Structure 1
Amino acid sequence: MMRKVMIVLAVLLLALAGCDGKQKNALLAAQNAYASAIRWGEYESAWQRVDPEYREQHPLTELDLERYAQVQISAYRDLDSTVLPDGSPARLIEIGVINRHTQAERSVRYREEWRWDPEKKTWWVRQGLPDLWAGS
């Protein structure tokens, strides 16, 4: 297990080789904050890490929030880190999802893609919140 963690960290560091130190630190902080928000069911907070252009084109509705309230996250695992052709970092994430009503647990895989905003000096998740109902 420790070896896998070291490999993932090495790949992530290589993926960030094109970024300066402040961007690397900002990316790690953004990814940690986003993962923590998802992990603890703070979807409105996680939504604030989503690219503003995406948020404008795909607003989060009350119905969306009600759907997220029906599940509990049991795990948020970084399975793989890569660099996209445009040089942006991406991570393959496995999320453990528990239905609050049935207590049935399942796993969902989700790909996070990150974009650096030089104007705001922050990283954004390019797509919306994870689709926790994929394949359901």
Structure 2
Amino acid sequence: MRRILSILVVLSVLLLAGCATKTRSDALTTTLKAYGSALRWGDFQSAAQFIDPAVLAAHPLTQLELARYQQVRVSEYDDGAGPVPAGDFDVRQTATISLVNIHTQSERSVVDHQTWHYDEKTKHWWLTSGLPDITQD
């Protein structure tokens, strides 16, 4: 009887861990789709809402950065192979973003190395790497 009870406890713990992982995975998928959509539409203001509040407080977006984002239009957002685990509560994703300068109509691409962290308390994925650096060559 004791052995059966022990097995049931272990199975219950594994089941709960699986549910937590599934919930975290579903939240990541939803978050990455919403973030990608915001960038595809060139809505950098909305994309900024995905940044971890602590990161944003430490490194607020400057007026110059916001002005630079207004000078480009996103023509393509390719998140490649998708997210790659980088720990229990972290993932990395590399996206290629094609941008068109609205003044010169020249197009170029930048590579955005994203880092996402899952906050267990709020059950929310946060972008810890900030918005893409569109000044890179």
Q: Tell me the TM-score range normalised by the shorter chain.
A: 0.7 to 0.9
- State how 1:1-136 maps to structure 2 within 5 Å: 20-80=21-81, 81-85=83-87, 88-135=90-137
Tell me which amino acid in the other structure corresponds to 2:119. D
Distance in 2 (CA, whole Å) between partners of 1:117 and 1:85 is 13
Distance in 1 (CA, whole Å) between partners of 2:121 and 2:45 is 23
Q: Which moved more, 1:24-33 or 1:58-67?
A: 58-67
Distance in 2 (CA, whole Å) between partners of 1:24 and 1:84 is 14
Per-residue deviation, 1:88: 1.7
Distance in 2 (CA, whole Å) between partners of 1:45 and 1:93 is 18
**Quick one: structure 1 residues 87 and 121, their matched pair in 2 at CA, closer, same or farther if it must change by over 3 Å?**
closer
Tell me which amino acid in the other structure corresponds to 2:21. D
Distance in 2 (CA, whole Å) between partners of 1:55 and 1:112 is 15
Per-residue deviation, 1:90: 1.0
Q: Which moved more, 1:99-108 or 1:78-87?
A: 78-87
Q: How many residues align?
A: 119
Q: Is the Cα contact below 8 Å between 2:98 and 2:107 reproduced in 1?
A: yes
TM-score normalised by structure 1 residue count: 0.80
Distance in 1 (CA, whole Å) between partners of 2:88 and 2:124 is 17
RMSD value over aligned CA atoms? Answer: 1.8
Structure whose CA Rg is larger = 2
* Segments of 4+ moved more than 6 angstroms: none
Per-residue deviation, 1:30: 0.6
Per-residue deviation, 1:49: 0.4
TM-score normalised by structure 2 residue count: 0.79
Q: Which has the higher contact order (CA 8 A, sep 6+)?
A: 1
Structure 1 portions without partners, runs of 5+: 1-16
Q: Can you list the C-alpha shifts for 1:10-31, whole angstroms capped at 9, x where unaligned? A: xxxxxxx9x6111111101110
Per-residue deviation, 1:87: 5.5
- Which residue of structure 1 lines up, in the alignment, with residue 8 of structure 2? none
Q: Can you list the C-alpha shifts for 1:43-81, whole angstroms capped at 9, x where unaligned? A: 111111011111001111332211100000011101233
| Aligned-pair identity (%) | 39
- Which residue of structure 2 lines up, in the alignment, with residue 9 of structure 1? none
